[in-house]
Amino acid sequence: MEICIHSSLLQPYIVKSTIRSFGQAEIIIGALTQRLRVYISAKPYILDYLLSLYICDDPRTQSSISSVLSRVPAPGSNFNRIPQSQPARKMSTGFASFLAVLCFMYAFSNDPVEARIIGFKPSSEKLDDSLVYLWPLPSELSHGNATMSVDPDLSLEFGGDGGNSSIVREAFQRYKEIIFKHSFRFVDRRTRTKAVYDITKIKVTVVSDNETLHLGVDESYFLYVAREDGHSIVRQAAIEANTVYGALRGLETFSQLCSFNYGTKTVEVYNAPWYIHDEPRFVFRGLLLDTSRHYLPINVIKQVIESMSYAKLNVLHWHIIDEQSFPLEIPSYPDLWKGAYTKWERYTVEDAYEVVNFAKMRGINIMAEIDIPGHAESWGIGYPDLWPSSTCREPLDVANNFTFDVISGILTDMRQIFPFELFHLGGDEVNTDCWSSTLHVKEWLQEHNMTGKDAYQYFVLKAQEMAIVRNWIPVNWEETFNTFKDRLNPQTVVHNWLGPGVCPKVVANGLRCIYSNQGVWYLDHLDITWESFYNSEPLEGINDTLEQDLVLGGEVCMWGETADTSDVQQTIWPRAAAAAERLWSRREAISAGNISLTVLPRLHYFRCLLNRRGVPAAPVTNEYARSPPIGPASCYDQ
């Protein structure tokens, strides 16, 4: 079928484009929506006369159009008060309703409509090409059946206020190196100019030039890959996004569409044209990395961050400090990092800045943690007064004002390094017995009419106040909620870990929650299979939509007792990718069917993609994670 879209606002984008599926139509309309985003944000009343749509030469749809257009909000309606980040999404919903009418009508006509579940030609003939070998699975997509070649000299064209961002330009160079890793070795530069390629450039349009990376930043994008044939609104390859971080996610998806053809020794995109509209399901998609139990060099932390971007994870929870070691430099209290294992296993302030900036260039926030008062024995190596006594080294001394002076100094120094609005204050596994058995602490408790439990609450709430004063939102492990939920600051984000059923209780109390059930999302538990990671649902048991919105997302945890530089990546991947798709993709799209048939082949493929990119991801189906293969086989079968 053909759809024509005419509007004076769209000039010069008068469109006549062949539409072969509902998904393709929906995404093309989305492209037009993107171009109008800034204008609509400034003048929402423009929706009164925004578009006139009709099916070319087809009178059957005229009555349907008028009924759909009648739903456009009138001036002064509640729509006018929607924040600027939302108008385009609201308008897209209207377009979806309109397109649904068209597609239902055409479902009864003789015009074929493609299936919504699509595939692309894999590099191995063993793979099921009815599946979608993109990870994580995009929100909406459509495709054709053509093959397009990609120029090794692929160039970047940018548009919009944020398209020329250094974040976009550097990402383009990184992905170009990934995409053409093979072809640069094989292609003779003397003959390259004679070849004719279907895709010679990719245009990245970014609406906003605001590069602030914050919780809930818009990561949505549209990606189009199509031939320039005179009938399509798409020209070769294009990404459109509201922010640079949406553009990053689009570039990752584009890189996964590109495949090296060993026969022609060229990079190709199969099953073109592609029309993809994508956005994450959860705003917080995290990975905890523990550098206290085993020190990880900066380059290893960077490798982990790089690999996170391939799975569209967006928060590295840096568990820098714990009872075993204190490796971070704190200028206000310079003896604290005497608690490092050795003088060579430390992070300078400059190291921490480097990690934060490296992560930002990949759209990843760093959420730092100091786990207080219970996991802090290493603090006393440099400042013994932080210990209640030489035989009671944790929890930190609640009776000593110096303890809170040090915490204040740490938070002040770390606030200069970590801009992310969430800061983790720990609060788990606090055994207060030695407080009660240490004379001066016991006297302080009696003086303040407190039990050990009361003092635990006092300590946590005081630390929360310190963080909030510094414009941080406090995150605490779930024991704080389990012990004194009614006293927690209303801004508190509760981090689940002990087991299931916690987030439903948290959100029912009006607090926000991060899901990390240790029985299914702890990477150091080597017996947890990829299926458990994949099937675990953060919204399980939460049916109220307002309460569901309080679940920020989830986080897989790489605790470091048995992981160091030699095996940390093998322990993280590929199981973390299973959780990453759960956190990104639509629940209904990934929760149906037999995952051994619909997901496992795709996870095999993504694991092999990680290997090709230099990430030592372990086999998917091993009985124990990170163990080597049990025998000869293809990467796609292990």
Question: What CATH number belongs to 284-613?
Answer: 3.20.20.80
Fold of 140-183+194-278: Chitobiase; domain 2 (3.30.379)
Q: What is the dihedral of CA 521, 357, 253, 204, to 10 degrees?
A: 150
Residue 477 CA, chain-centre distance (Å), reads: 21
> Where along the chain do its domains lie?
140-183+194-278, 284-613
- For 545, residues 6+ apart whose C-beta sits below 8 A from its C-beta are none
**pLDDT confidence of residue 244:** 98
d(CA 39, CA 27): 20
Return the SS3 of 72. coil
Segment among 25-29, 53-57, 441-445, 548-552 with least mean pLDDT:
53-57
Question: How do residues 381-402 score in pLDDT, each as one tens digit?
Answer: 999 999 999 999 999 999 999 9
**pLDDT confidence of residue 236:** 84
Return the SS3 of 82. coil
* pLDDT higher than threshold 80 for residue 408: yes
The H or E element spanning position 299 is helix 298-310
Segment among 29-33, 332-336, 494-498, 562-566 with least mean pLDDT:
29-33
d(CA 22, CA 225): 17
DSSP string, 439-504: HHHHHHHHHTT--HHHHHHHHHHHHHHHHHHTT-EEEEETHHHHHHGGGS-TT-EEE--S-TTHHH
* pLDDT higher than threshold 60 for residue 303: yes
Contact 572, 304 (CB under 8 A): yes
Q: Confidence band (pLDDT; 50, 70, 90) for 60?
A: very low
**pLDDT confidence of residue 128:** 77
Q: Residues 600-619, buried b or exposed e (16+ Cβ, 10 A)?
A: bbbbbbbbbbbeeeebbbbb
Please give the structure tokens belonging to residue 553.
Answer: 């997302």
Please give the structure tokens belonging to residue 229.
Answer: 């044939």
d(CA 221, CA 75): 29
* pLDDT higher than threshold 60 for residue 531: yes
Segment among 42-56, 256-270, 381-395, 444-458 with least mean pLDDT:
42-56
* pLDDT higher than threshold 80 for residue 70: no
**Which region, left, alpha or beta, applies to residue 363 given φ > 0 means left and ψ of -120 to 50 means alpha?**
left
The H or E element spanning position 152 is strand 140-159
**pLDDT confidence of residue 315:** 98
Contact 130, 117 (CB under 8 A): yes
Residue % of the chain over a pLDDT of 70: 77
**pLDDT confidence of residue 512:** 98
**pLDDT confidence of residue 556:** 98
DSSP-derived secondary structure letter, 74: P
Helix, strand, coil content of the chain in percent (nearest 5): 40, 20, 40
Catalytic entry in 429, 443, 465, 561: 429
What's the half-sphere exposure (Cβ side, CA atoms, 13 Å) at 298?
Answer: 16
| Model confidence, pTM | 0.83
∠ at Cα 494 (491, 500), nearest 5°? 150
* pLDDT higher than threshold 50 for residue 504: yes
**pLDDT confidence of residue 129:** 75
Q: Tell me if residue 429 is catalytic.
A: yes
Which residue, 557, 598, 595, is CA-closest to 575?
557
* pLDDT higher than threshold 80 for residue 107: no
**pLDDT confidence of residue 187:** 53
